[in-house]
Amino acid sequence: MSGGLSRWVLARSAVLGQHRRMLRFSALVFASLLVVACGDDGGDVSDDVTVDAGDSRDLGGSDAGDAVDLGEPVDGGGADLGEADLGSEDAGADEDLGPADLGVDMSEPDLGTPASDAPVQCRDDADCGGSGSCNVAPAGGICLGCTDGSCPSDTTCSEFGACTRDCATTADCAPGFRCLGSGRCALDTPCTPSNCPAPYVCGAVGCERPACASGCPAGWGCSGGYCTEP
């Protein structure tokens, strides 16, 4: 009995071993099928990735093109803001201001009073009244040694004892004189042709009457060796 049981157990074990081998084989076959299936899917994924990479390259090229297009307006802006227009405007402003500045610098007060309209204090001592005397050398003459009320009209006796002409502008003064803020004419130094016009000449005391020896202008007189205004 025990011998038969042993044979049965051995036979059963052989059958079970065969079943196990079949199960292992089936498992291996199933696993192989899965690997093949995954390999096919992986190929699809690889293709998809390749396509996506291509799309990325296409999009990158498009972006680069946009960058070039955007760069052109910047260059155009630089051309619009060039120096040509601004330089032209600056040059125009300088040209407009130049003549205006020169006109102010060459204003009339520097030219003094024309000789024909020059005011005259004195031609000889008789014009100074009282004990005053006429200095005939300066343009228009100057009365010296004055007292209050002894000076010619439109002149005032100064603290220095000389008659000075009252003025509002330099045009009210004789050639070679300028109007001070005090409303009095005073010698304009240095003497130049601009403040001492002909026939007057620059001399020791500033702008002087021409000497009689050099010849006097038509209509002028001669007193003390100097030509005197009419």
Grouped pLDDT means (10 residues each) for the chain, 230 residues:
58 63 58 46 41 39 40 42 43 43 40 60 91 94 92 92 95 95 93 94 93 95 95
Residue 25 lies in a domain: no
Q: How many domains does the chain divide into?
A: 1
Phi-psi region of 219 (alpha: psi -120 to 50; beta: other; left: phi over 0): left
Q: Is residue 194 part of a domain?
A: yes
| Domain extent for 208 | 115-228
In a domain, 208, yes or no: yes
**Which pLDDT value is given to residue 205?**
82
Beta bridge partners of 3: none
- Considering only CA atoms, which of 127, 200, 134 is closest in space to residue 162? 134
> What is the structure's pLDDT at 202?
96
Do the domain assignments include residue 132?
Answer: yes
Nearest alpha-carbon partner for 121 in 157, 158, 185, 165 = 165
Please tell me the predicted confidence (pLDDT) of residue 194: 93
Position 180 in a domain:
yes
What is residue 163's predicted lDDT score, i.e. its pLDDT?
A: 95
Q: What is the pLDDT of residue 206?
A: 93
Q: Would you state the pLDDT for residue 176?
A: 94
Vertex 148: Cα angle to 122 and 130 (nearest 5): 50
The answer to the question of residue 193 being in a domain is: yes
- To which H or E segment does residue 143 belong? strand 142-144
What pLDDT does 7 receive?
Answer: 67
Lookup: tokens for 113: 């009073």
In a domain, 85, yes or no: no
- Residue at 74 is within a domain: no
